[in-house]
Structure 1
Amino acid sequence: MTRPATRLVPAGVTGGHETVTPARRTGIVAALAITQTIGYGTLYYAFAVLLTPLAVDLHASTTAVTGAFTASVLTGAALAVPVGRWLDHRGGRALMTGGSAAGALLLVALSQVDRLWQLYLVQIGIGAAAAASLYEAAFAVVIAVTTAERRSRALLAITVVAGFASSVFLPLTGWLTDAHGWRATLIVLAVLQALTVPLHAFVLRGSAPSRTLRRASQAPSRGVRAALTDRGFWLLAIGFTAHTAAISAFTVHLVAALISWGHRPAFAATIAGLLGALSVAGRLITTGLQRRHRTTTITATMFAVQAAAALLLPIAGARTGGVIGAVIGFGLGFGVATLAKPILLAERYDTRRYATLAGALVVPMTLAKATAPLAAAYLHTASGSYVSVFAAVALCCALAATMIAAASSG
């Protein structure tokens, strides 16, 4: 069985919400699996397909249009802590319902933009809608309504299903754009996004904190203060931030690196597409190993494997078999952090404060996600080679492995 790390706050706190029956719990997990798949597909992944047609119609550079997406991501980082506090105090139903509805309306608004400043304004709104309705909010709800024994399986179910969001929505968005244009595509995506509103509104009923616990949550939290002065919390923060930087840089630069090493664009894109499926496999492996090993041990090991794979990639870059092996090694750890972070926070700290603590971790992680590709591009330009880029990725993964391993005794 998994051996949880030592808590610094009262143990035995498993959620602090109204009693949820097993059937309702299953319904909540199933609903969130659907809404996270749609939400990530419409509010996040679709932008990659729409980037070029947006730039053409708005008479803007792809860099300027990409900046709007960066603004969206940074908005999510800015809202992470206040969103976390809301979730801890009031639960996820109202916030996730509102975020889903806003996301649908903003996709309609996006279909009507004809100026660059309008694109930025809408994308900032989408960043706020995503912060209110995607993974961090969903994880807070799951942790509130599940026991420690069932938590890993519930989180796994959601992340496995949502892990296919890119596999579904990237080709769907591409097909719709080719057939009907990007403006009509956004209307279709808005309709799909609107389907998440009733799921959040009706299925999440009863997951809000009880009145007694809501009053208690308004008081100053010793649990949050204890966590923020805990060495282990900051080890986790450094580890997951370094890993996020590695993942972001690897994802953005993999295709270009493979092409520079002589591979065909179609092969490079296909190899990059394996990362989504491999992330699901990695999450399944992680959950299976948790029965016998600590989550910190499993996570650190997966990150260490990624470090080795990133170092191997440029060495074997010209050989098809070597590239496939390196990408598989890296891809198996691709989605581990998404699953491990909520589990480790819930193991160590008062779960009534989970969302606030998760929000504190999301801020540096999101900043790393936004800036790491730019830093990697600078490394490539300065060195004239992708070897330095993947060496930096390996270093970040090694740092992440070290920090997560140290957190087990931190």
Structure 2
Amino acid sequence: MRSRGPLRAPQRGTVAVWLLGLSQIIGYGTLYYAYAILAPEMARTFDWPLPWIFAALSLALLAGGIVSPFAGRCLDRYGSARVMACGSVAAAGALLLIASAPTGAVLVAGVVALQLCSPFVEYNAAFAYLAESEGQAAPRRIVHLTLIAGFASTLFWPLTDSLLTVLDWRSILVFYAGLNLFVAMPVHLALRRLQRRSAERGAQTIAPAAVGDDTALPLHVQGQALWMVVIGFALSGFLFSAISTQMVPLLASLGIGTASVMVAALFGPAQVFVRFANLAGGAGRHPIEATLAACAVLPVAAVVLAATAPATAGAAAFAILLGFGSGLTSIVRGTLPLALFGRSGYGARLGKISSAQLVSSAAAPVVLSSLIELFGPGPALGLIAAIGAAGFLVFLGVARLRRQSVAA
């Protein structure tokens, strides 16, 4: 039997995307999405109010944001596949710490440890791998990856809920630790071998001047543009986090009533739809265009909800618009820095962006709750929309910088 030859570049890219998609589903599913389902059981075990359990997650997200720049530098220095493999082992250890927690204090320490691991295994690391390995195809591969990884919540919310009927929350976390150790970690090692073999055969290598570098912004404006990008994503992320973390109770407070859950369910399909639309129609367009669309539609969604409540149709439009904005944001967070600044230092830049976004996201739910207490849900949504609109204005400035650099 004739042996198969080495994989061609498109085949390598397809294999890498599917492997990364599997690891991202496991990563987001076990490190983030499962928490909301297990939180009530954790609260009962330690006799804590449920808000305390979610406060632990907010603290952990803040810690993850602080460590994100360091994680980005590690991705650049050691290579993303190696970092992700180590991150999966650490994530398994953190899950086991939570599962064995004898007290609430140890539980909080475990949750913080878990989110400290997340920048080493989630989107930033996966995007960095594609930037290292895929050359000019990296932006399109990032879109493909977000399509696959977008099913993490769709799979892990019902999976965790079903497991709770036969296992306690501690046993579920032990099982999820096993997924990280025995599935995600070997996947990351396989990605490292795939990348190494590709380099040995003279395929895409990790040279500093590659994808995006020939069209990147001039060096003298990159510092200013980077800070604008960081601030823009932080402002837009603030709006999205404030609303998404309490979408169902927010809808109920506006009088949507029993339709709240049904309306919220439109959010996920809208995310997937806009990613497919971007894949079909976004080829050849600069990511700043999709970024502006995402940052425009998020405040519009908030205004639509405030203006139309308690109409169910208006709430449905809000959920769809919010899904559109979220779906596009998950793509452009990876593709925009690549297009503006090139591949050299890509991981470190993603770390800075994620750090600011995670810090703002950790504060957002508390701010929205306080605004609702002070002014009511409608005016609170208006104020949150104004913050998101400020993010759109910042990205308009980035687009102007790019136009000026192209014209120069």
If asked which structure has higher relative contact order (CA below 8 Å, sep 6+), I would say 1
Instruction: Find the partner of 1:403 among 376, 394, 404.
Output: 394
Query: How far 1:293 sits from its partner (Å)?
Result: 3.5
| Aligned mates of 1:364, 1:37 — CA distance in 2 | 24
Q: How far apart are 1:214 and its partner, in Å?
A: 8.6
Unaligned runs of 5+ in 2: 1-6, 210-215, 402-408
Aligned amino acid, residue 146 of structure 2 = T
Offset of residue 238 of structure 1: 1.7
1:264 aligned to which of 251, 257, 264? 257
Structure 1 runs (4+) greater than 4 angstroms displaced: 208-211, 213-217, 223-229
Matched, 1:51 2:39: yes
Worse overlay, 366-375 or 345-354: 345-354
Please state how far the C-alpha of 1:409 moved relative to its aligned partner.
2.4
Task: Find the counterpart in structure 1 of residue 245 from structure 2.
Answer: 252
Superposed counterparts of 1:300-319, under 5 Å: 300-319=292-311
CA distance 1:225–1:356, change in 2 (3 Å): farther
Helix, strand or coil for the counterpart of 2:101? coil
**Alignment match of 1:286 (pick from 278, 282, 287):** 278
Conservation of the 8 A alpha-carbon contact between 1:92 and 1:207:
no
Query: For 1:249-398, what aligned pairs fall within 5 Å after superposition?
Result: 249-265=242-258, 267-291=259-283, 293-383=285-375, 385-398=376-389
Q: Greater shift after overlay, 394-403 or 344-353?
A: 394-403
TM-score, structure 2 normalization? 0.87
CA contact (8 A) 2:291 2:329 kept: yes
Alignment partner of 1:351: what SS?
coil
Question: Which SS does the other structure have where 1:49 is aligned?
Answer: helix
Q: Report the Cα offset of residue 389 of structure 1.
A: 2.3
Q: Equivalences for 1:10-49 in 2 at 5 Å?
A: 21-49=9-37
Matched, 1:114 2:102: yes
2:131 to 140, 143, 167: 143
What are the Cα deviations for residues 154-184 of structure 1, in whole angstroms up to 9, with x where unaligned? Answer: 1111111111111110111111113322122
Q: Which residue of structure 1 aligns with residue 145 of structure 2?
A: 158
Q: Give the percent of matched residue pairs that are identical in Structure 1 and Structure 2.
A: 25
d(CA) in 2 for partners of 1:301, 1:337: 9
Asked if 1 retains the 8 angstrom alpha-carbon contact of 2:28 and 2:152, the reply is yes
Structure 1 residue 179 and structure 2 residue 171: aligned? Answer: no
What is the alpha-carbon distance in structure 2 between the residues aligned to residue 128 and residue 228 of structure 1? 32
Question: Whole-Å Cα distance in 2 between the matches of residues 143 and 20 of structure 1?
Answer: 17
Q: TM-score w.r.t. structure 1 length?
A: 0.86
Which structure 1 residue ranges, 5 or more long, are not aligned? 1-18, 218-222
> For residue 81 of structure 1, what is the amino acid of its counterpart?
P
Deviation string, structure 1 residues 199-256 (Cα, Å, up to 9, x no partner): 0012222537989x99999xxxxx9995886322222122111110011011123211
CA RMSD in angstroms comes to: 2.6
| CA-CA distance at 1:367 after TM superposition | 0.5
Q: Quick check: 2:286–2:339 contact (8 Å CA) kept in 1?
A: no
Q: Which of the residues 59, 63, 68 maps onto 2:56? A: 68
Secondary structure in structure 1 of the residue aligned to 2:373: helix
Residue 347 of structure 2 aligns with an amino acid whose one-letter code is: A
Structure 1 position 396, deviation (Å): 2.5
CA contact (8 A) 1:227 1:233 kept: no
Report the alpha carbon displacement of residue 191 of structure 1 after superposing the two structures with TM: 2.5
AA aligned to 1:138 is A
Deviation of the 1:27 alpha carbon:
1.7
Match of 1:239 in 2: 232
User: Offset at 1:111?
Assistant: 1.6
Return the alpha-carbon distance in structure 1 between the equivalents of residues 352 and 123 of structure 2: 15
What is the Cα deviation at residue 91 of structure 1?
Answer: 0.5
The letter of the residue matching 1:337 is: T
Checking the alignment, whether the CA contact within 8 Å between 2:254 and 2:377 is kept in structure 1 is no
* Residue 365 (structure 1) shift: 0.7
Distance in 2 between the 1:349 and 1:57 partners?
48
Amino acid aligned to 1:183: R
Q: Which amino acid in structure 2 is aligned with residue 256 of structure 1?
A: P
1:308 and 1:74 map into 2 onto residues whose CA distance is 27
Equivalent AA in structure 1 for residue 379 of structure 2: S
The AA in structure 2 aligned to 1:378 is S
